[in-house]
Amino acid sequence: MSFGILFWDEIRGFIKSKIMITLWVGMPVLSIILHFIQPNAEGMPVTILTSLLLASIGGLLAAVMLSTTIVNERNAKVYDLFLIRPVKRWHLLLTKYLAVFLCLLIASILSIVLGIIIDYATIGLSATAIILEALKSLAIALAAMSISCAIGILIGILVNSVALAAILSIYLGEQLSVLAVLPSVLLENINPALFSIGIGLGITVIVIIIEIAIFNRKQF
């Protein structure tokens, strides 16, 4: 039962602290702006440009957001009041991961749908082709973001300084998330979306298991 309460509590926190609105408005707007100000992208469908942006900026935002939030909350001893109640420690971590991932998923869908609409109106590609391409791009971007989220949590529970957590998240969170994108670039004759989802899910699960083990042993 505590899982659901914690999950909606996290979501409410994102709404109240205006993180959600910033992501949901900021990411789609950023992809459109980039399309218009990037001369090299001329002719490139906004859908593709958006997915590239999501994989890099989205992952980075996720890692920084999670790591700094967790360090802040640990330093402010926010978790004591949760852990003295019948709350499992892994619920705290997993609900954070899921809440951030859900926020990013919605922001990504909004951005890509906006890209499809712009592409349909400007380049005039067939709707089916754009949607298929968009889904493929979305899957790769989400796999990369999932890895970033997991790395962000790991940094959050290991590091004590907010600044250090942000720096490490930028170094590691984004770089490691590339693992989900690489197969589609390096290997031929594979389904890049399926491959990315597999790698993204695998790395995420392994990292989350490690951080749950660390968090369970952590002294509060």
Partner 1 sequence: MSVDTKTQEPIIQFTNVSKKYKDVQALYDVSFAIKRGDIFGYIGPNGAGKTTTLKILVGLIRDYSGEIKINNESLHTLINPGNLIGYLPQDVGFQDWRTVNHALTTFGLLSGMKKTDLQQRIPEILELVGLTEARNRKIKYLSGGMEQKLKLAQALLHKPQILILDEPMSGLDPTSRWQMKNIIRQLAESDITIIFSSHILSDVEDIATTIGILKDGNIVKIGSPQDLEQELIQGDTVEVIGEALMEKIVLIRDLPYVVKVDGEENNPNRLTILFNPNSDLNESIVSLLHFLSENRIVVKHFNYMKPSLEEVYLKYVTGGSA
Using CB under 8 A, pick the residue from 39, 40, 77, 160 that binds partner 1: 77
Return d(Cα 115, Cα 185) in angstroms, integer: 22
43 by Cβ neighbours in 10 Å (0-12 / 13-18 / 19+) ranks as exposed
Using CB under 8 A, pick the residue from 86, 124, 185, 188 that binds partner 1: 86
| Residue 214 binds to partner 1 (criterion: CB under 8 A) | no
| Residue 33 binds to partner 1 (criterion: CB under 8 A) | no
* H-run or E-run covering 35: helix 19-37
Return the SS3 of 172. helix
Stretch that binds partner 1, among 22-30, 51-59, 79-87, 147-155 (CB under 8 A): 79-87
Instruction: Report in angstroms how near the CB of residue 81 gets to partner 1 at its nearest.
Output: 6
| Residue 160 binds to partner 1 (criterion: CB under 8 A) | no
Nearest to 154 by CA among 204, 111, 195: 204
Q: Residue 134 gets which letter from DSSP? A: H
Binding site for partner 1 (CB under 8 A): 1-2, 5-6, 9, 12-13, 16-17, 73, 76-78, 80-87, 219-220
